[in-house]
Structure 1
Amino acid sequence: MTAAQVKGAMGPTSFAEMARLSGEFADWHNLLYKATWLTGELNLDAVRHAWRRLCLRHDVMRRSFVSADEAFTSEGMVSEVEFHTADSDAEGIELMGRILGTPFSLDSPGFSRIAVVQRSERRHLLGIAVDHIISDQISWARIRGDFAEFYNRALVGDTDDVAQENTYQNFAAQQRSRFAGAWGEERRAFWHSYAEEFGTYPPRFQVGAEHRGEPKLRVVTRDLPADAKARVHAFSLEARATPFAVTSASVLAGMREVTGDPLVGISTNQHGRMLPGTSQTVGLFVQTVPLHLGLEVRSPLETVREVFLRTHDVFECSLPLRVAGRYWNEDLMVPDQEPGLYMALNEDLPSSADLPPLTGTEAEYADLDIKGGKRWPETVVVEWNLYETGPRLSAYYNENYFPGAAVEQLLEAAERFALPDGNGTMGRRPASRHPGAAAASFGASR
């Protein structure tokens, strides 16, 4: 089946779609996936009904592309539930990995798939994969929540059609229209001034960095105090800022301390929901934006406030900068350049039942080994994980490029900034190292 064979509507692509279609974000890290073992009575007809209704509710699940400028939204389904059997758990995992791990083609309809692998009458492996072009963490939460709702409703005989909500096609048209007016000019002025002040991309974390063979992942983790989350939140209240501003400021200040460079910068994610009425629109995907510290060395509170105000401006004006830059003849992102340091904040543990439990079953997370994930050999990825149990601060980096001592010093400085003790200095503790561990939150997403 091709898009041309299905009734639907033509419409513009969003800027995020244009970036993906033009080659940006084209790595396999755009493949988001989840698999869950379900033990109990799984109703396959209800699974099919749930998937159908999910795709009808959210038009981005029926979207494909004619060109970088034009999208096609089908009226009918473009993907169906695949059903398979396996003789062992290992065979089921291997099979699901092959099903979900196949990259989506940009010239084919649909960017989502669902599969069920049956081990026995009361044991099934359920897996869902979507291309990052149609989803981010917020969209994923809506997809999995609606799927569980429709499954449970199907069990009691409710299989009526559903109305579309917050269509992605309308969002893309609204974004294009506003970009052509004052809204777009405001963003152009902001990013032009931002690039003039800081350059077009955050500088690399170049503390003795040198390629010494094939990239080799290393993970350094610092176990944080049990009350780390409460302390970061208290700091944010005192600074009249957000926990994200506190943790971002800590990494920026740590970079400044380690490198001696007053004009440091990091890359982070923003979910691109700045247009009215788009907070629950499925399909808005993560955009990477740069954050910087100014030249002046300030107190921790002042630094956090500065970062908070900067994040507000940066996120409010966020656009896929490479695509927007082409319109404005501004090089706002350097093509094919890795971020020198990428920072993320997580406050909730990845759930072992990230696909919500379906009525009549118990869920158990299934770990898939899907090859081809994004590799950033010249980027340090720092994660503040403020879990209620086991909070930690981690860095993922190529140990054949970055000196480990500098990475560990960065983490120590970031922790000391965000979690000072009563004397204003954090007592130092040894870092616990877990070589070879991988960031495993929701497949291979950024």
Structure 2
Amino acid sequence: MTGNLSDAARRLMERRLAGLSAPVGKERDPRPERPPLAPAQRRLWFIHQLTQGSLAYNVPTAYRLRGPLDTEALERAVHLVVRRHEVLRTCYPADEQGEPFQRVLDTDAGPRTPVARHDLTSAADPVAEALRIAGSEADHRFRLDAEGPLRLWLATLGPDDHVLGIVVHHIAFDRESLAVLAGELSAAYRAEAAAGTPELPPLDAQYADFALWQSGLTGTQEYEKELGYWRETLGRLAPVLELPADHQRPKEPTYRAGEAAIHIDAETAERLRALSTERGASLFMTCLAAFQGLLSRYTAETALAVGCPVNGRAKVAYEGLIGFFANSLPIGVHLDDDPAFAAMVDRARESLLSAHAHQNVPFDRIVRELSPVRDLSRNPLVQVWFDLDAGDTGTAADLLALPGVRSEYFTEGRVRTRFDAEMHLGERADGTITGRLLYAQDLFAAETANGLCEHYANFLAAVAADPGLRLSRVPLFSARQRSTLLDDWSVGSG
């Protein structure tokens, strides 16, 4: 794969840059000396304190860069991007009352962000050594009260062969941030390598401004109305969704995750798209409805919630910012009447639209309002996650676009999850839907996770062919699997 951005990624970057150039309507409000954390950040900060710096919220990314790389220009580009985004050089100490606040560690003219250099050209196996470094960096325990949330390293494997590694704490980063970081770092590198000036517009806001804005929503009439919606909607759902597990749940999770692949063929995917159009829904809604149905069959729960992401960049001025804007929406569903799948799609559509209309209430505030039993062994309110990305890879990350350099992902294979299970899907250019299930290895064996993916694919194929199927009648096994099971049963009972 080349280092060029895809057309979709380029359009996204152009939209962001155009949006950042738009006026915000007024001068930036003055900040207090100690800006508060955004509500979502506060939750991560307190979890960080409780778990002595859990690694679950580290976000590692690494790029293999093949070609004539100007390493000095790359480091200058990194420094420029970090200078633009205060959140990448912000720490979170506590005041005299134990309340966390934001402190920018240096000014725009401050010291450069260090990029740790590793010369691996004389190593017996440079790739293996780079993988070791990637794993070690991914396991860095951030001191959020005293250091910035960003670490970078650059390994030289050989002539024109490098690995750039980035580790960011989730308190300062979300999925959309990776696209912003990759786009700006690429633009800054192109300019630095050519001794020019990056054509990046000035930012109309910083993350601290968003945190102040969101904190200011609390207590308003509209905010209280939205909070009431969540109280009413989630109060009637099962407080815990317990998937059948292979291992006993530990008191404190390790967050180690396994991966299971899923593939939906183009014919089934096209039928699902047609069904979505017919029901006035998106493909996301239709696939979510099927996932909710599968979870209901697995757990025997008829009133359950699944977590879904929403991009909280609610203003134009926030669109081009790096930071933790993402919010978690608990999407509830009631299936006690054994509905036909078409009706399930309608319910998923209404639930998602209503949830998005009430997204200003942060997830941590919803948790506090409902006051579930506190349990460090599981995520509150939602234990299972669902996402479908419009990109053609099933992941949200963007590659770097550096002139003359081929870019691809480089991973040490270390995967983590904060949930019991996460389903991540993506639409591909060939019309198929592919993705992966991340599952907690503390709870599930690989065979169980693979089985769930097979059942989900079978569920989707069945309802795509017949949307009138009622939930209890949707087959989870393919015809081939049913035949195998019957044959095995016959042999075993003979």
TM-score by length of 1: 0.80
Q: What corresponds to 2:103 in structure 1?
A: 72
Match of 2:133 among 95, 118, 132: 95
Task: Report the alpha carbon displacement of residue 413 of structure 1 after superposing the two structures with TM.
Answer: 5.5
Provide, for residues 104-150 of structure 1, a one-character-per-residue CA deviation record: whole Å limited to 9, x for no partner.
22112311122211123422111112111111111111111110011
Provide, for residues 255-307 of structure 1, a one-character-per-residue CA deviation record: whole Å limited to 9, x for no partner.
33444432233223333334664333321344333222124443323321221
**C-alpha distance in 2, partners of 1:195/1:59?**
36
Contact 1:112 1:129 in 2 (8 A): yes
Q: What corresponds to 2:303 in structure 1?
A: 263
Report the RMSD for the aligned CA atoms in angstroms: 3.6
Provide, for residues 195-232 of structure 1, a one-character-per-residue CA deviation record: whole Å limited to 9, x for no partner.
33225x452234xx463699997655453212444333
Between Structure 1 and Structure 2, the one with more helix by share is 2
Contact 1:352 1:365 in 2 (8 A): no
Q: What corresponds to 2:406 in structure 1?
A: 362
Q: What corresponds to 2:388 in structure 1?
A: 345
Distance 1:143 1:394, change over 3 A: closer
Q: How does 1:11-410 map to 2 (within 5 A)?
A: 11-23=35-47, 27-67=54-94, 68-73=99-104, 74-76=106-108, 79-86=113-120, 87=122, 88-159=126-197, 163-199=202-238, 201-206=239-244, 209=245, 211=247, 221-274=261-314, 277-294=317-334, 295-318=336-359, 319-323=361-365, 325-326=367-368, 330-331=370-371, 334-336=374-376, 337-338=378-379, 339-347=382-390, 348-349=392-393, 354-370=398-414, 373-374=416-417, 379-389=420-430, 391-392=433-434, 394-397=436-439, 398-399=443-444, 407=452, 410=455
Task: Report the alpha carbon displacement of residue 383 of structure 1 after superposing the two structures with TM.
Answer: 3.6
Distance 1:417 1:272, change over 3 A: farther
**C-alpha distance in 2, partners of 1:36/1:193?**
45
**C-alpha distance in 2, partners of 1:126/1:171?**
30
Distance 1:310 1:334, change over 3 A: farther
**C-alpha distance in 1, partners of 2:229/2:187?**
42
Amino acid at match of 1:367: T
Contact 1:346 1:386 in 2 (8 A): yes
277-286 or 129-138: bigger deviation? 277-286
Contact 2:175 2:396 in 1 (8 A): no
Task: Report the alpha carbon displacement of residue 192 of structure 1 after superposing the two structures with TM.
Answer: 1.5
- Residue 478 (structure 2) pairs with residue 428 (structure 1): yes
Amino acid at match of 2:107: E
SS in 2 for 1:407: helix
146-155 or 233-242: bigger deviation? 233-242
Contact 2:60 2:167 in 1 (8 A): yes
**C-alpha distance in 2, partners of 1:321/1:310?**
16
Distance 1:278 1:162, change over 3 A: closer
Distance 1:182 1:402, change over 3 A: farther
Task: Report the alpha carbon displacement of residue 414 of structure 1 after superposing the two structures with TM.
Answer: 3.3
Q: Quick one: percent identity of the two aligned structures?
A: 17
**C-alpha distance in 1, partners of 2:227/2:192?**
48
**C-alpha distance in 1, partners of 2:102/2:154?**
30
**C-alpha distance in 1, partners of 2:37/2:158?**
43
Provide, for residues 346-381 of structure 1, a one-character-per-residue CA deviation record: whole Å limited to 9, x for no partner.
44216899431311211232221448x3465xx243
Task: Report the alpha carbon displacement of residue 173 of structure 1 after superposing the two structures with TM.
Answer: 0.6
**C-alpha distance in 2, partners of 1:405/1:89?**
30
SS in 2 for 1:12: coil
**C-alpha distance in 2, partners of 1:391/1:323?**
34
Contact 1:250 1:417 in 2 (8 A): no
Amino acid at match of 1:364: E
SS in 1 for 2:243: coil
Structure 1 residue runs without a partner (length 5+) = 1-7, 432-446
**C-alpha distance in 2, partners of 1:275/1:296?**
40
Contact 2:92 2:144 in 1 (8 A): yes
Task: Report the alpha carbon displacement of residue 103 of structure 1 after superposing the two structures with TM.
Answer: 2.8
**C-alpha distance in 2, partners of 1:352/1:140?**
8
**C-alpha distance in 2, partners of 1:430/1:271?**
41
Amino acid at match of 2:384: L
Structure 2 residue runs without a partner (length 5+) = 1-31, 482-494
Provide, for residues 165-211 of structure 1, a one-character-per-residue CA deviation record: whole Å limited to 9, x for no partner.
43111100100111231232122211211233225x452234xx463
Distance 1:28 1:231, change over 3 A: farther
